[in-house]
């Protein structure tokens, strides 16, 4: 079959793909696979910067009354750490996976609007660089990633010599990346609606695609809220508008409401594609179909819907009407229900399966446990009095690192180990992978579990140092030492990425025995993705194909031609 196409030898690694060899082919690319790789590579660079800043912070906090960094420097570092991780590292990393795999998993040639896809990527890169340019303005950011007014006002960004422009670069950078994100969101939704394989129904698309599409809808409706808040802030700073100026009757609360109206859906934007990755990995490594496919999809929709109705729980401490407290506390607790459904479905998928603990599966299992811990402290926070006591303490830091680092980053790692062979044509080293996994599990839990207690002991977040009160020195020392273990684990990951690209074992087309369409093409996929698209009769088209081959009497259903010709 297709012998006339396959006369030349198939490229064994992405480095050998003829179409991808020149630098120009990357700079001018509209290929979703190249753009996906560029998204992931760029976000990994920002991730490394974010990790370095985390290491600097933990070093500063290693002992009480430590004066290694000045308070200003520390403020700048935690602000850039937050901004980098949320907007420039994790979100684009997930976007990279979405852009790379959504078309492959639905049997499409590319996304619906390839040029818009390229524009999104370049807006992200340029926006990210603009945000980092604020370092060179003499006054970078020191207001925290949530940028509460009035810390962002002109008065607060003055140093001895001049009015700082760091916040302006931050605003413009975020507006650019935000515009890129909205375009990607449109692209993903339209692609899934328009370009599915000829016989693929909406009830047969892989769960990663389901969650990416819902995620895209969240981006579409949440990012404009941030953009609106940012333009108000920009007008305040540039044209002396009065939105957030209390002296003229304006209120910083408006910023907080607008920011968290974006910010809470944002935390689901940061986790939903991760849920999707795990929903692909767990069935394949348990050799069982996913348990409760429809419930998984519906729970995702429920999470997305509820996430727009919980934002005020970030602001319980600002003081509100009691009815409002009840409504937001209840809606915040309610969101644990669909999330719990997912957790149980993953466990039920593993139940009775023949599980193989490859690195991707290890990361998925650790994710389930760690994310549950993060979820439980989240439910605790939905209780108003607990929130009053613990808000702005290290308990919050521990909580959201359990969801974003122990949650999202672990799912992303699972995604890397699962899909790296497909992207590059080389396997990641399992040996390094297991070393990385255990370093990260111990490092992460050692760093952050104990920080819950720092919060309970009364240590506020975002302070550059702390007095030598009982327990605080011990807790912070332990946390910092484990942070270095975590950092080492992340270095092993980067080493694995690079070494395996050149020296990794060549990957087969379907090394894990996956069932979704991306495994039906070669590793790495040709620029046109598919020579033949297998027929889709269920959520596991490759399984169906295998079964029909085993029954010689039954003719295999016809496959469709790819768009290559």
CB nearer to another protein: pick between 112 and 411: 112
Rounded to whole angstroms, the Cα distance separating 439 from 241 reads 50
CB nearer to another protein: pick between 118 and 278: 118
State the Cα angle at 170 between 169 and 176, rounded to 5°: 90
5, 45, 248, 554: residue in contact with another protein (rule CB under 8 A)? 248
CB nearer to another protein: pick between 99 and 232: 232
Cis peptide bond N-terminal to 416, omega within 30: no
Q: C-beta of 254: minimal distance to another protein in Å?
A: 6
Q: Of 33-41, 144-152, 178-186, 345-353, which segment contacts another protein by CB under 8 A?
A: 178-186
126, 221, 348, 355: residue in contact with another protein (rule CB under 8 A)? 221
Q: C-beta of 525: minimal distance to another protein in Å?
A: 23
194 binds another protein (CB under 8 A): yes
Rounded to whole angstroms, the Cα distance separating 418 from 279 reads 12
Non-local (6+) Cβ contacts of 556 within 8 A are: 535, 545, 548, 549
x/- letters, 252..291, toward another protein (CB under 8 A)? --x---x--x------------------------------
Q: What tokens does 445 get?
A: 């839990």
227 binds another protein (CB under 8 A): yes
1, 23, 24, 239: residue in contact with another protein (rule CB under 8 A)? 239
Per-position b or e across 455-465, b if 16+ CB within 10 A of its CB: bbeebebbebb
Q: C-beta of 224: minimal distance to another protein in Å?
A: 4
- How far is the CA of 39 from the CAs of 182, 189, 451, 493, in angstroms? 15, 18, 32, 18
Q: C-beta of 350: minimal distance to another protein in Å?
A: 36
State the Cα angle at 545 between 540 and 546, rounded to 5°: 100
State the Cα angle at 359 between 432 and 427, rounded to 5°: 65
CB nearer to another protein: pick between 261 and 418: 261
Q: Of 234-242, 330-338, 347-355, 413-421, which segment contacts another protein by CB under 8 A?
A: 234-242
Q: What tokens does 420 get?
A: 């790296």
Rounded to whole angstroms, the Cα distance separating 79 from 57 reads 11
113 binds another protein (CB under 8 A): yes
Q: C-beta of 113: minimal distance to another protein in Å?
A: 7
CB nearer to another protein: pick between 150 and 557: 150
CB nearer to another protein: pick between 38 and 111: 111
CB nearer to another protein: pick between 228 and 469: 228
Q: Do the beta carbons of residue 489 and residue 436 sit within 8 Å?
A: yes
377 binds another protein (CB under 8 A): no
Rounded to whole angstroms, the Cα distance separating 150 from 245 reads 7
Q: Of 86-94, 244-252, 391-399, 427-435, which segment contacts another protein by CB under 8 A?
A: 244-252
Residue 158 β-bridge partners? 163
324 binds another protein (CB under 8 A): no
536 binds another protein (CB under 8 A): no
Per-residue DSSP letters for 165-230? -HHHHHHHHHHHHHHHHHHHHHHHHHHHHH-S-TT--GGGS-HHHHHHHHHHHHHHHHHHHHHHHH
Q: Do the beta carbons of residue 158 and residue 165 sit within 8 Å?
A: no
Residue 532 β-bridge partners? 561
228 binds another protein (CB under 8 A): yes
State the Cα angle at 296 between 292 and 299, rounded to 5°: 130
29, 112, 445, 476: residue in contact with another protein (rule CB under 8 A)? 112
180, 250, 276, 446: residue in contact with another protein (rule CB under 8 A)? 250
Q: C-beta of 307: minimal distance to another protein in Å?
A: 14
Q: Do the beta carbons of residue 479 and residue 451 sit within 8 Å?
A: yes
Largest CA distance in the chain: 84
CB nearer to another protein: pick between 224 and 292: 224
56, 154, 231, 499: residue in contact with another protein (rule CB under 8 A)? 231
Q: C-beta of 269: minimal distance to another protein in Å?
A: 14
Q: What tokens does 150 get?
A: 């009035």
Q: Of 75-83, 185-193, 313-321, 356-364, which segment contacts another protein by CB under 8 A?
A: 185-193
Q: C-beta of 354: minimal distance to another protein in Å?
A: 42
220 binds another protein (CB under 8 A): yes
Q: Do the beta carbons of residue 520 and residue 541 sit within 8 Å?
A: yes
CB nearer to another protein: pick between 220 and 499: 220
469 binds another protein (CB under 8 A): no
CB nearer to another protein: pick between 175 and 398: 175
To the nearest 10°, the Cα dihedral for 119, 121, 124, 130? Answer: -80
Q: C-beta of 521: minimal distance to another protein in Å?
A: 23
- The closest alpha carbon to 402, from 427, 438, 431, 369, belongs to 369
320 binds another protein (CB under 8 A): no
182 binds another protein (CB under 8 A): yes
Q: Do the beta carbons of residue 283 and residue 349 sit within 8 Å?
A: yes
Q: For binding to another protein (CB under 8 A), which residues are involved?
A: 112-113, 182, 185-187, 189-190, 193-194, 220-225, 227-229, 231-232, 235, 239-243, 248-250, 254, 258, 261
């Amino acid at each position: 079959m297709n012998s006339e196409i396959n006369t030349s030898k198939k490229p064994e690694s992405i480095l050998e793909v003829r179409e991808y060899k020149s630098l120009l082919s990357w700079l001018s690319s509209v290929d979703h696979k190249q753009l996906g790789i560029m998204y992931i590579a760029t976000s990994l660079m920002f991730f490394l910067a974010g990790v370095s800043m985390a290491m600097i912070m933990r070093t500063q906090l290693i002992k009480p009354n430590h004066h290694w960094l000045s308070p200003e420097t520390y403020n700048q570092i935690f602000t850039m750490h937050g901004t980098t991780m949320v907007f420039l590292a994790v979100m684009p990393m997930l976007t990279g996976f979405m852009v790379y795999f959504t078309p492959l998993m639905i049997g499409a040639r590319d996304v619906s609007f390839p040029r818009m896809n390229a524009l999104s990527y370049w807006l992200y890169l340029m926006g990210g660089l603009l945000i980092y340019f604020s370092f060179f303005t003499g006054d970078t950011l020191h207001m925290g990633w949530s940028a509460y007014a009035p810390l962002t006002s002109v008065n607060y960004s003055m140093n001895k010599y001049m009015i700082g422009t760091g916040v302006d670069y931050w605003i413009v950078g975020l507006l650019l990346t935000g515009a890129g994100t909205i375009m990607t969101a449109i692209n993903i939704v339209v692609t899934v609606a328009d370009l599915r394989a000829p016989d693929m129904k909406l009830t047969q698309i892989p769960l990663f695609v389901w969650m990416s599409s819902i995620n895209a809808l969240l981006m579409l409706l949440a990012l404009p809220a941030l953009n609106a808040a940012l333009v108000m802030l920009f007008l305040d700073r540039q044209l002396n508008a009065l939105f957030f100026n209390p002296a003229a009757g304006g209120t910083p609360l408006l910023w907080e409401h607008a920011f968290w109206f974006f910010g809470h859906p944002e935390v689901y934007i940061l986790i939903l594609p991760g849920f999707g990755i795990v929903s692909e990995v767990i069935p394949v490594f348990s050799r069982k179909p996913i348990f409760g496919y429809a419930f998984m999809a519906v729970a995702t929709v429920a999470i997305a819907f509820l996430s727009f109705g919980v934002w005020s729980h970030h602001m319980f401490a600002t003081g509100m009407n009691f009815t409002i407290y009840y409504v937001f506390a209840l809606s915040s607790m309610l969101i644990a229900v669909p999330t719990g459904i997912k957790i149980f479905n993953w466990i039920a998928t593993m139940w009775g399966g023949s599980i193989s603990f490859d690195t991707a599966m290890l990361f998925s299992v650790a994710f389930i446990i760690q994310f549950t811990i993060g979820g439980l402290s989240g439910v605790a926070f939905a209780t108003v009095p607990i929130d009053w006591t613990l808000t702005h303490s290290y308990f919050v830091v521990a909580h959201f690192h359990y969801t974003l680092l122990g949650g999202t980053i672990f799912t992303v790692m699972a995604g890397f180990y699962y899909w790296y062979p497909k992207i590059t044509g080389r396997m990641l080293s399992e040996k390094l992978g297991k070393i990385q996994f255990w370093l990260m599990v111990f490092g992460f839990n050692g760093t952050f579990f104990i920080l819950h207690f720092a919060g309970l002991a009364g240590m506020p977040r975002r302070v550059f140092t702390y007095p030598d009160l009982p327990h605080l020195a011990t807790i912070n020392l332990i946390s910092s030492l484990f942070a270095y273990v975590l950092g080492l684990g992340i270095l092993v990951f980067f080493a694995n990425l690079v070494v395996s690209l050149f020296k990794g074992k060549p990957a087969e087309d379907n090394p894990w025995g996956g069932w979704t369409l991306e495994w039906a093409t070669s590793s790495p996929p040709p620029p046109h993705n598919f020579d033949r698209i297998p027929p889709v009769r269920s959520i596991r088209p490759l399984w169906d194909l295998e079964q029909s081959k085993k029954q010689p009497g039954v003719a295999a259903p016809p496959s469709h031609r790819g768009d290559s010709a």
